[in-house]
Structure 1
Amino acid sequence: MRNLIQRVLVLTGLVDRLQPVALLALRLYVSSVFFRAGIIKISDWGATLALFHDEYKVPLLPPDVAACVGAFGELAFPVLITLGLMGRFGAAGLFVVNAMAVISYPQLWGFDCPAGIHMHFVWGAILLLLAIFGPGRLSLDELILKRLGLRPAPAA
């Protein structure tokens, strides 16, 4: 039995080595989704403003301000996440942008095909995971911490 447990531990140790690559893949995927949405917003600013005035119901913000904040969030936070620079901050910020998208577009909940709302939940889960665990070892955060000698000790 002990031998079997040791073999399983070796195997899980090998799988653990994939964690930085998996976190990088998640960062690149979720960043690309939101960055492309931001590019679309700024490519036709008139249509974006019309959507924020007519379709999206962002709470507390005037439509023009909400459009600017939304476009900024979809363009700036993905860059931080992709680079792994202030990765947790970028992931948390994009999580808020994603939540605002779900809250401010109530039609998303009523479509016959629930894939739209489900994808927002998937993106939200990925962003929450990145905010909690950080961008991983393949990030500028890690490089900077190592250079400064501030790399936190591994959790027990």
Structure 2
Amino acid sequence: MTDSSSLLARAVRLWDRLSAALDALQPAAALAARVYVGQVFFLSGLTKIRDWDTTLALFADEYKVPLLPTALAAFMGTAGELVLPVLLVLGLGGRFAALGLSVVNVVAVLSLQEIAPAALQQHVFWGALLAGIAVYGPGKWSAERLVWPRLQGAATLPVTS
């Protein structure tokens, strides 16, 4: 074996070990993303229910949600910000929760008449994390990994020949 092929073989082994270490971090990274984004939206929902009159005023004057009456938009937005993050953090219906929060995120950006560049960057970051969760799922450390296999097994009909 030549020196260059030996060097290449060592580089490949090193890369394999690094890849394995990064693969082992995937569940923790997915959980961290779920907790981070879930907290952002949940705290926003808590702020809205603390002073419902102010929330209604914001939806009437500041947030211009298209096609929906103000009170309904406020209720739906607040409900989404309180229920979906809990599902997301638990990883129960994680893809559904991520897609639902993506809608809340996009509507928030579109409904604001003016948005600061820094605030827009936050929404883009949250959207990217939510897209990753929607595409790849909530990860191994999620409640649906515990619940869905049992439900799928119970729902499977026996095959008869």
**TM-score if structure 2 supplies the norm length?**
0.87
Unpaired runs of 5+ residues, structure 1, are: 151-156
What is the CA–CA distance in structure 2 between the aligned matches of 1:145 and 1:47, rounded to whole Å?
40
- 1:143 is aligned to 146
Structure 2: tracts of 5 or more residues without a match: 1-7, 154-161
State the partner residue of 1:45.
52
Aligned to 2:4: none
User: In the alignment, residue 123 of structure 1 is paired with which amino acid?
Assistant: W
Structure 1 partner of 2:15: 8
Q: Which residue of 2 aligns with 1:129?
A: 132
The runs of at least 4 consecutive aligned structure 1 residues that moved more than 4 Å come to: none
Equivalent residue runs for 1:6-155 within 5 Å: 6-108=13-115, 111=116, 114-148=117-151
Per the TM alignment, residue 11 of structure 1 is displaced from its structure 2 partner at its CA by 1.6
Code of the residue aligned with 1:145 in structure 2: it is: W
Q: Percent identity?
A: 49
TM-score of the aligned structures, taking structure 1 as reference length = 0.90
Number of aligned residue pairs: give it: 146
Higher-Rg structure is 2
> Alignment partner of 2:114: what SS?
helix
Write the deviation string for residues 76-101 of structure 1: whole angstroms up to 9, x where unpaired.
10000000000000000000000000
Question: Cα distance, 1:15 vs. partner?
Answer: 1.2
Residue 4 of structure 1 and its aligned partner are, at CA, apart by 1.9
CA RMSD across the alignment = 1.2
